Protein backbone atom coordinates (compact mmCIF):
# COMPACT_ATOMS: atom_id res chain seq x y z
CA UNK A 1 0.00 0.00 0.00
CA UNK A 2 2.84 2.33 0.89
CA UNK A 3 4.57 1.64 -2.46
CA UNK A 4 1.33 2.35 -4.32
CA UNK A 5 0.97 5.66 -2.48
CA UNK A 6 4.55 6.69 -3.32
CA UNK A 7 3.99 5.69 -6.99
CA UNK A 8 0.84 7.82 -7.20
CA UNK A 9 2.65 10.84 -5.69
CA UNK A 10 5.50 10.47 -8.20
CA UNK A 11 3.01 10.18 -11.05
CA UNK A 12 1.19 13.32 -9.93
CA UNK A 13 4.45 15.30 -9.70
CA UNK A 14 5.44 14.13 -13.16
CA UNK A 15 2.11 15.22 -14.65
CA UNK A 16 2.30 18.65 -13.01
CA UNK A 17 5.90 19.17 -14.16
CA UNK A 18 4.87 18.65 -17.77
CA UNK A 19 3.11 22.00 -17.68
CA UNK A 20 6.41 23.78 -17.02
CA UNK A 21 8.75 21.96 -19.37
CA UNK A 22 9.17 21.85 -23.10
CA UNK A 23 6.88 19.56 -25.05
CA UNK A 24 8.80 16.69 -26.60
CA UNK A 25 7.04 16.27 -29.94
CA UNK A 26 7.86 13.00 -31.66
CA UNK A 27 6.65 13.82 -35.17
CA UNK A 28 9.81 13.87 -37.30
CA UNK A 29 9.87 14.50 -41.05
CA UNK A 30 12.57 14.31 -43.72
CA UNK A 31 13.14 17.39 -45.85
CA UNK A 32 14.18 17.25 -49.52
CA UNK A 33 17.05 15.34 -51.07
CA UNK A 34 19.42 16.27 -48.23
CA UNK A 35 17.45 14.09 -45.80
CA UNK A 36 17.31 16.94 -43.27
CA UNK A 37 15.02 16.01 -40.40
CA UNK A 38 12.84 18.49 -38.55
CA UNK A 39 10.08 18.45 -35.97
CA UNK A 40 6.56 19.01 -37.22
CA UNK A 41 5.81 21.04 -34.08
CA UNK A 42 8.10 23.69 -32.60
CA UNK A 43 7.19 25.11 -29.22
CA UNK A 44 8.34 28.73 -28.86
CA UNK A 45 7.83 29.46 -25.17
CA UNK A 46 5.85 28.45 -22.09
CA UNK A 47 2.15 28.21 -22.83
CA UNK A 48 -0.93 26.91 -21.05
CA UNK A 49 -3.88 25.09 -22.51
CA UNK A 50 -6.12 28.17 -22.51
CA UNK A 51 -3.92 30.39 -24.70
CA UNK A 52 -2.40 28.21 -27.43
CA UNK A 53 -1.92 29.62 -30.93
CA UNK A 54 -0.34 27.83 -33.89
CA UNK A 55 1.51 29.50 -36.77
CA UNK A 56 2.07 28.02 -40.23
CA UNK A 57 4.47 29.85 -42.55
CA UNK A 58 3.81 29.83 -46.30
CA UNK A 59 6.89 30.65 -48.37
CA UNK A 60 7.61 30.32 -52.07
CA UNK A 61 10.63 28.13 -51.28
CA UNK A 62 11.99 26.30 -48.24
CA UNK A 63 13.96 26.32 -45.98
CA UNK A 64 13.74 29.93 -44.74
CA UNK A 65 15.40 31.62 -41.76
CA UNK A 66 13.20 33.72 -39.49
CA UNK A 67 13.31 35.31 -36.06
CA UNK A 68 10.39 35.06 -33.67
CA UNK A 69 10.65 37.37 -30.66
CA UNK A 70 14.39 37.71 -31.44
CA UNK A 71 14.94 33.91 -31.39
CA UNK A 72 16.20 32.32 -34.62
CA UNK A 73 14.36 29.45 -36.31
CA UNK A 74 14.46 27.59 -39.62
CA UNK A 75 11.17 26.90 -41.41
CA UNK A 76 11.52 23.71 -43.44
CA UNK A 77 7.99 23.20 -44.76
CA UNK A 78 4.42 24.48 -44.74
CA UNK A 79 3.62 21.32 -42.77
CA UNK A 80 5.66 22.62 -39.84
CA UNK A 81 3.69 24.21 -36.99
CA UNK A 82 5.03 26.78 -34.53
CA UNK A 83 3.17 26.59 -31.22
CA UNK A 84 3.09 29.67 -29.01
CA UNK A 85 0.90 31.55 -26.61
CA UNK A 86 -1.56 34.26 -27.54
CA UNK A 87 -0.96 38.00 -27.60
CA UNK A 88 1.50 40.12 -29.57
CA UNK A 89 4.35 38.39 -31.37
CA UNK A 90 7.19 39.91 -33.40
CA UNK A 91 8.65 38.21 -36.48
CA UNK A 92 11.66 39.21 -38.57
CA UNK A 93 12.17 37.89 -42.11
CA UNK A 94 14.74 39.18 -44.61
CA UNK A 95 15.34 42.36 -42.58
CA UNK A 96 11.61 43.14 -42.48
CA UNK A 97 9.91 43.27 -39.09
CA UNK A 98 6.28 42.33 -38.49
CA UNK A 99 3.99 42.56 -35.47
CA UNK A 100 1.10 40.11 -35.17
CA UNK A 101 -1.72 39.63 -32.68
CA UNK A 102 -2.65 36.01 -31.89
CA UNK A 103 -5.95 35.15 -30.24
CA UNK A 104 -6.06 31.41 -29.41
CA UNK A 105 -6.05 30.45 -33.08
CA UNK A 106 -4.42 28.61 -35.93
CA UNK A 107 -3.08 31.18 -38.38
CA UNK A 108 -1.38 31.00 -41.77
CA UNK A 109 1.22 33.70 -42.47
CA UNK A 110 2.33 34.73 -45.95
CA UNK A 111 5.48 36.81 -45.70
CA UNK A 112 6.54 36.52 -49.35
CA UNK A 113 3.34 35.29 -51.02
CA UNK A 114 -0.43 35.68 -50.71
CA UNK A 115 -2.55 33.51 -48.43
CA UNK A 116 -6.27 33.78 -47.67
CA UNK A 117 -6.70 37.05 -45.70
CA UNK A 118 -7.24 36.74 -41.95
CA UNK A 119 -7.97 40.28 -40.73
CA UNK A 120 -8.38 41.61 -37.19
CA UNK A 121 -9.83 45.12 -37.07
CA UNK A 122 -8.67 46.54 -33.74
CA UNK A 123 -10.23 49.99 -33.99
CA UNK A 124 -11.51 52.61 -36.41
CA UNK A 125 -12.77 56.18 -36.22
CA UNK A 126 -16.46 56.00 -35.43
CA UNK A 127 -16.96 59.77 -35.57
CA UNK A 128 -15.19 61.52 -38.46
CA UNK A 129 -15.00 65.33 -38.53
CA UNK A 130 -13.41 66.43 -41.84
CA UNK A 131 -13.19 70.14 -40.92
CA UNK A 132 -9.39 70.57 -41.24
CA UNK A 133 -8.74 70.87 -37.51
CA UNK A 134 -6.26 67.95 -37.59
CA UNK A 135 -8.47 65.84 -35.33
CA UNK A 136 -10.35 62.87 -36.84
CA UNK A 137 -10.28 64.55 -40.25
CA UNK A 138 -9.94 61.09 -41.85
CA UNK A 139 -11.31 57.64 -41.10
CA UNK A 140 -8.44 55.86 -39.33
CA UNK A 141 -8.33 52.05 -39.26
CA UNK A 142 -5.95 49.95 -37.16
CA UNK A 143 -5.82 46.30 -38.21
CA UNK A 144 -3.66 43.19 -38.29
CA UNK A 145 -3.27 41.16 -41.47
CA UNK A 146 -1.69 37.76 -42.08
CA UNK A 147 -0.81 38.52 -45.70
CA UNK A 148 -0.28 41.12 -48.40
CA UNK A 149 -3.37 42.52 -50.04
CA UNK A 150 -5.50 45.53 -50.85
CA UNK A 151 -8.19 47.25 -48.79
CA UNK A 152 -11.13 49.27 -50.09
CA UNK A 153 -14.62 50.52 -49.22
CA UNK A 154 -17.65 50.00 -51.41
CA UNK A 155 -18.53 53.69 -51.50
CA UNK A 156 -15.08 55.27 -51.45
CA UNK A 157 -12.99 55.63 -54.57
CA UNK A 158 -9.81 54.84 -52.61
CA UNK A 159 -7.78 51.63 -52.45
CA UNK A 160 -4.72 51.06 -50.27
CA UNK A 161 -2.18 48.29 -50.03
CA UNK A 162 -1.62 46.42 -46.76
CA UNK A 163 1.21 44.21 -45.58
CA UNK A 164 1.47 41.35 -43.11
CA UNK A 165 1.27 42.46 -39.50
CA UNK A 166 0.06 45.74 -38.05
CA UNK A 167 -1.39 48.33 -40.46
CA UNK A 168 -2.52 51.89 -39.68
CA UNK A 169 -4.52 53.38 -42.54
CA UNK A 170 -6.24 56.71 -43.17
CA UNK A 171 -9.13 57.21 -45.60
CA UNK A 172 -10.28 60.74 -46.54
CA UNK A 173 -14.04 61.22 -46.10
CA UNK A 174 -15.99 63.79 -48.12
CA UNK A 175 -19.52 62.65 -47.26
CA UNK A 176 -22.13 65.15 -46.03
CA UNK A 177 -22.78 65.06 -42.29
CA UNK A 178 -24.77 62.03 -41.22
CA UNK A 179 -24.64 58.34 -40.28
CA UNK A 180 -23.20 55.81 -42.71
CA UNK A 181 -22.72 52.07 -43.10
CA UNK A 182 -20.07 50.86 -45.52
CA UNK A 183 -18.50 47.56 -46.45
CA UNK A 184 -14.75 47.17 -45.98
CA UNK A 185 -13.03 44.51 -48.11
CA UNK A 186 -9.49 43.14 -47.98
CA UNK A 187 -8.53 40.96 -50.94
CA UNK A 188 -5.67 39.34 -52.82
CA UNK A 189 -5.22 36.49 -55.31
CA UNK A 190 -6.08 33.83 -52.71
CA UNK A 191 -9.33 35.21 -51.30
CA UNK A 192 -11.03 38.07 -49.48
CA UNK A 193 -12.32 39.30 -46.12
CA UNK A 194 -15.29 41.65 -45.69
CA UNK A 195 -16.83 43.50 -42.76
CA UNK A 196 -19.48 46.22 -42.48
CA UNK A 197 -18.64 49.21 -40.31
CA UNK A 198 -20.77 52.10 -39.05
CA UNK A 199 -19.48 55.65 -38.65
CA UNK A 200 -20.75 59.21 -38.33
CA UNK A 201 -19.62 62.32 -40.20
CA UNK A 202 -19.97 65.49 -38.10
CA UNK A 203 -18.21 68.74 -38.94
CA UNK A 204 -19.95 70.82 -36.27
CA UNK A 205 -17.43 70.39 -33.45
CA UNK A 206 -14.14 71.98 -34.43
CA UNK A 207 -11.29 71.50 -31.98
CA UNK A 208 -8.19 73.64 -31.32
CA UNK A 209 -5.84 70.71 -32.00
CA UNK A 210 -4.37 72.27 -35.15
CA UNK A 211 -3.58 75.60 -33.48
CA UNK A 212 -2.14 73.97 -30.36
CA UNK A 213 0.23 71.84 -32.43
CA UNK A 214 1.26 74.78 -34.59
CA UNK A 215 1.92 76.87 -31.46
CA UNK A 216 4.07 74.11 -29.92
CA UNK A 217 5.96 73.75 -33.19
CA UNK A 218 6.56 77.51 -33.29
CA UNK A 219 7.86 77.49 -29.70
CA UNK A 220 10.19 74.59 -30.50
CA UNK A 221 11.60 76.30 -33.61
CA UNK A 222 11.98 79.54 -31.68
CA UNK A 223 13.86 77.77 -28.88
CA UNK A 224 16.22 76.10 -31.39
CA UNK A 225 16.85 79.46 -33.11
CA UNK A 226 17.47 81.20 -29.78
CA UNK A 227 19.90 78.47 -28.70
CA UNK A 228 21.89 78.73 -31.97
CA UNK A 229 22.09 82.53 -31.87
CA UNK A 230 23.31 82.58 -28.28
CA UNK A 231 26.08 80.01 -28.61
Instruction: Tell me the average confidence (pLDDT) per consecutive run of 10 residues in the chain, 231 residues long.
Output: 50 43 38 56 69 94 95 95 92 97 95 97 92 80 98 93 97 92 97 96 68 53 63 69
Number of C-beta neighbours around residue 49 at 10 A = 6
Amino acid 229: pLDDT: 67
Q: Decide: helix, strand or coil at residue 48.
A: coil
Q: What is the pTM of this model?
A: 0.74
Domains by residue range for the chain, with CATH = 25-110 (no CATH), 119-201 (2.60.40)
Q: Decide: helix, strand or coil at residue 18.
A: helix
Nearest to 59 by CA among 79, 77, 74: 77
Q: What is the DSSP letter of 175?
A: P
Amino acid 95: pLDDT: 94
Amino acid 207: pLDDT: 57
Amino acid 130: pLDDT: 81
Amino acid 36: pLDDT: 54
On whether the CB atoms of residues 53 and 87 are closer than 8 A, the answer is: no
Amino acid 69: pLDDT: 92
Amino acid sequence: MKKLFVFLIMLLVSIISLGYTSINFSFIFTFGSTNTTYSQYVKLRYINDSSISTITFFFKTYPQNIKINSEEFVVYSKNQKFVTGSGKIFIEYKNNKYEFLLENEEINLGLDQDVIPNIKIISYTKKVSPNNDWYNDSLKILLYSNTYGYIKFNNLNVEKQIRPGKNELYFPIDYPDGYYKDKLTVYNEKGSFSKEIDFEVDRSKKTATKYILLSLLGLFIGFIGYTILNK
